[in-house]
Amino acid sequence: MKLELVFIPSPGDGHIKPLVEVARLLVDRDDRISVTILIIPQIQGFSSGSSDSYIASLSTASEDRLHYNVLSVPDGSNSDAPKPNFFTYINSFKPQVKATAEKLITDPTQSESSPSRLAGFVVDMFCTDMIDVANEFDVPSYLLYTSNAMFLGIQFHFQHLYDVEKYDVSDLKDSDITELEVPCLSRPLPVKCLPSAMLNKDWFPVILGQVRRFRETKGILVNTFAELEPYAMKFFSGEDNTLPTVYPVGPVINLKTNGPDSTDDKQTEILSWLDEQPRESVVFLCFGSMGGFREDQAKEIAIALERSGHRFLWSLRRARPKGTMGHPQDFTNLEEILPEGFLDRTAKIGKIIGWAPQNAVLANPAVRGFVSHCGWNSTLESLWFGVPIATWPLYAEQQLNAFEFVEELGLAVEVRNSFRADIMAEESELMTAEEIERGIRCLMEQDKVRDRVKEMSEKSHVALMEGGSSHASLLKFIEDVTTNIS
């Protein structure tokens, strides 16, 4: 019997791309499986050329057992009316998701000799309300968790503390407690590394509600691999049998798509410049699709780069103006915001760009180090290519990612992990040139972390090979999907 899975990512490259790659892995591993991916468009104001181009490419890329369906924005959702909150927006697509699933069940093209059965929904970590639709069809739901096993374990632990032990972690914001013992880390977790939403009385209940829904699923696919997070994975194989089965299937990385179609010339220019640099001589600075800086912070970075003396490729974006939403944009005049004469003095050793073809840059042999915001996808990409990170977390769970890679795993150095520039905030701390220079020098001039990263990079490749840990975990997921519908 053919098995049909419905995949539902939340909007945004960092969620759509990993989910698409997992779907591709599944159909490659088992010819009984077909996947239909239902793509929810970005909320107006948050889309970018890169994500729009990627979604457009998917809509024409359906294959024999892998189909893409870009959903239509419900009337009013992208109008000039007050914007819905994110979860309300996701909820508005339920009728389309239900209608699509019904079509899959009643597809008249199915042959009697090879019938297809709806085997379940795989929903993104921010689309848990779609579990309701799976329940309507009386099929199992699974979760794709695009962050790491450590953060997933922390979320389950905090939800247990709140619901069972009546301990509210958000009270720590104004507490004298500086560290927490958590079962998915081998060392105490500094409170300063918690995502700001977990310390917010308005947002923490939302997080708890999401995690409670995680528990309703039959299993959770996590974008990690067992060798990378052994302590966290030990937590999920422990005595708590109330947790769903966790399948580490990563690193799930999109290595083919770097950006919008119109950037071919830009990419060629960037990679040609890198090809002219000595091997392992360049520090790459890039802070993700939402990582932009004010003029004063850009100037501090420039001072640090010049003082360090290292060659650099710097993806520099301007922070969004106060009161506005959306992605950062390029600065219009770099000479006005950078130190006087900086561009001339560094012309032979540095290059400033806007959008960056991140995978292609990290794969280039000229790149020795990566100053990163520590988004999980970027972190896995750097590990895949064996490029060490200097951590500069900005928002969401990035402080936790940085802590894990620096303190727990010894796979990165830090610029400053207590740095806070929440994505919803209009002001952020200033990182000084001295701190940035120190982080760059540590990244570029020390070999201990570099050797560990190279070793873990090899393990990340082996994990996906036949017989590797993630390959085996994906096969176990397929086996369980089959069992759960029998």
DSSP 153-185: HHHHHHHHHHHTS---GGGGGGSS--EE--TTS
Contact 67/38 with Cβ under 8 angstroms?
no
Beta bridge partners of 470: none
Tell me the Ramachandran region of residue 386: left when phi exceeds 0, alpha when psi lies from -120 to 50, beta otherwise.
Answer: left
* Helices H / strands E in the chain, number of each: 18, 15
In 3D space, the residue among 227, 251, 254 whose CA is nearest the CA of residue 459 turns out to be: 227
3-state secondary structure 272-341: HHHHCCCCCCEEEEECCCCCCECHHHHHHHHHHHHHHCCEEEEECCECCCCCCCCCCECCCCHHHHCCCC
Contact 338/329 with Cβ under 8 angstroms?
no
- How much is the mean pLDDT over the chain? 90
Residue 347 half-sphere exposure toward CB, CA atoms < 13 A: 5
pLDDT, tens only, 410-434: 999 999 766 454 444 445 689 999 9
pLDDT at 63: 77
pLDDT at 57: 73
Least confident of 22-26, 52-56, 132-136, 232-236: 52-56
The tokens for 480 are: 């369980």
pLDDT at 409: 97
**Residue 322, pLDDT above cutoff 80:** no
Whose tokens are 């799930």? That residue is 252
Residue 402 half-sphere exposure toward CB, CA atoms < 13 A: 29
**Residue 321, pLDDT above cutoff 90:** no
pLDDT, tens only, 24-38: 999 999 999 999 999
Tell me the Ramachandran region of residue 410: left when phi exceeds 0, alpha when psi lies from -120 to 50, beta otherwise.
Answer: left
pLDDT at 105: 84
Q: What angle do CA 110, 114, 118 make, to 5 degrees?
A: 65
| C-alpha–C-alpha distance, residues 181 and 157, integer Å | 10
**Residue 73, pLDDT above cutoff 70:** yes
| C-alpha–C-alpha distance, residues 68 and 58, integer Å | 6
Beta bridge partners of 372: 286, 391
**Residue 56, pLDDT above cutoff 80:** no
pLDDT, tens only, 267-302: 999 999 999 999 999 999 999 888 889 999 999 999
| C-alpha–C-alpha distance, residues 313 and 277, integer Å | 11
**Residue 265, pLDDT above cutoff 90:** no
pLDDT at 109: 59
pLDDT at 259: 47
Mean pLDDT of 259-263: 46
pLDDT at 416: 78
The tokens for 201 are: 């009385």
The tokens for 390 are: 């200097």
Q: Where are the domains of the chain?
A: 2-254+463-484, 264-460
**Residue 45, pLDDT above cutoff 60:** no
| C-alpha–C-alpha distance, residues 362 and 368, integer Å | 9
Share of the chain above pLDDT 90, in %: 76
pLDDT, tens only, 453-484: 999 999 999 999 999 999 999 999 999 999 99
Contact 411/388 with Cβ under 8 angstroms?
yes
In 3D space, the residue among 72, 47, 45, 57 whose CA is nearest the CA of residue 20 turns out to be: 57
Least confident of 54-63, 179-188, 296-305, 380-389: 54-63
Contact 392/419 with Cβ under 8 angstroms?
yes
Report helix, strand and coil shares of the chain as percent, to nearest 5. 45, 15, 40
Q: Which residues of 137-169 are buried (b: 16+ CB within 10 A; e: fewer)?
A: bebbbbbbbbbbbbbbbbbbbbbbbbeeeeeeb
pLDDT, tens only, 95-151: 999 999 999 888 755 555 567 899 999 999 999 999 999 999 999 999 999 999 999
Q: What are phi and psi of 418, to 5 degrees?
A: -85, 0
pLDDT at 166: 97
| Cβ contacts of 223 within 8 Å, gap of 6 or more | 18, 144, 145, 146, 147, 148, 249, 250, 251, 252, 376, 377, 380
Q: First-to-last CA distance in the chain?
A: 11
Q: Answer with the residue of higher pLDDT: 55 or 275.
A: 275
**Residue 217, pLDDT above cutoff 60:** yes
| C-alpha–C-alpha distance, residues 327 and 320, integer Å | 7
Mean pLDDT of 4-8: 97
Least confident of 98-112, 143-157, 170-184, 255-269: 255-269
**Residue 403, pLDDT above cutoff 90:** yes
For domain 2-254+463-484, the CATH architecture is: 3-Layer(aba) Sandwich (3.40)
**Residue 60, pLDDT above cutoff 90:** no
Q: Answer with the residue of higher pLDDT: 323 or 55.
A: 55
pLDDT at 199: 94
Q: Answer with the residue of higher pLDDT: 465 or 52.
A: 465
Q: What angle do CA 54, 458, 228 make, to 5 degrees?
A: 80
In 3D space, the residue among 286, 476, 246 whose CA is nearest the CA of residue 377 turns out to be: 286
Strands 245-248 and 219-222: parallel
Residue 225 burial (CB < 10 Å; 0-12/13-18/19+)? buried
Residue 99 half-sphere exposure toward CB, CA atoms < 13 A: 8
**Residue 88, pLDDT above cutoff 50:** yes
Maximum distance among all Cα pairs of the chain, rounded to whole angstroms: 74
Q: Which CATH class is domain 264-460?
A: alpha beta
Question: Residue 46 — pLDDT band, cuts 50, 70, 90?
Answer: low
Mean pLDDT of 43-67: 70
Whose tokens are 């620096």? That residue is 406
Tell me if 2-254+463-484 shares its fold with 264-460.
yes
pLDDT at 258: 46
| Side chain identity, residue 356 | A
Contact 315/356 with Cβ under 8 angstroms?
yes
